[in-house]
Amino acid sequence: MNCVFCSSGNAVKNGKRRRSVRTKQSYICMNCGRQFVEADGFERMRHRPKVITRAIHMHEDGFSLSKVQNHLWQYDNVKVSRETISNWTRKYSVFLKSGARNGKTGDKWKDPRGREGRPRREGKRLRP
């Protein structure tokens, strides 16, 4: 298991919580000593579309998953696992590719249900 903080791969199961009705497996990192719960990617998609699109674009522009992960953490205060980012790229790049990539009008967000979201203009955009 990779640590969500330092990506060290030294995280082990933290067996303190026995009742796991809806409790997620928690882990503790032997490298940095922090605890976290298992990342579950999309099920509760509470990440902003902006973050997701940025992650996908960065990855498609050649950044590694851990670079993207680090960027999201540094700039957006968003903690995601590399698996999550990888899932995003697989799941959403299709939607983003339709139109967005050629014209660089890529701020429009279409969610998987085909609804079109408002383009968000908050703050600065990432300039690679």
Least Cα distance to 34 among 77, 65, 67, 1 occurs for: 1
Q: Does 6 bind Zn ion (CB under 5 A)?
A: yes
* C-beta of residue 37 within 8 angstroms of C-beta of residue 25: yes
Task: State both tokens at 2.
Answer: 């990779």
Give me the least distance between CB of 122 and Zn ion, in Å please. 30
Report the length, in residues, of the chain: 128
Span from 21-29, 64-72, 78-86, 90-98 in contact with Zn ion (CB under 5 A): 21-29
Binds Zn ion by CB under 5 A, chosen from 1, 14, 26, 31: 31
Give me the least distance between CB of 64 and Zn ion, in Å please. 18
Least Cα distance to 20 among 38, 46, 43 occurs for: 38
Those residues with Cβ within 8 angstroms of residue 43's Cβ, 6 or more apart along the chain or in another chain: none
Q: Does 3 bind Zn ion (CB under 5 A)?
A: yes
Q: Does 32 bind Zn ion (CB under 5 A)?
A: yes
Q: Does 5 bind Zn ion (CB under 5 A)?
A: yes
List residues near Zn ion by CB under 5 A: 3, 5-6, 8, 29, 31-32
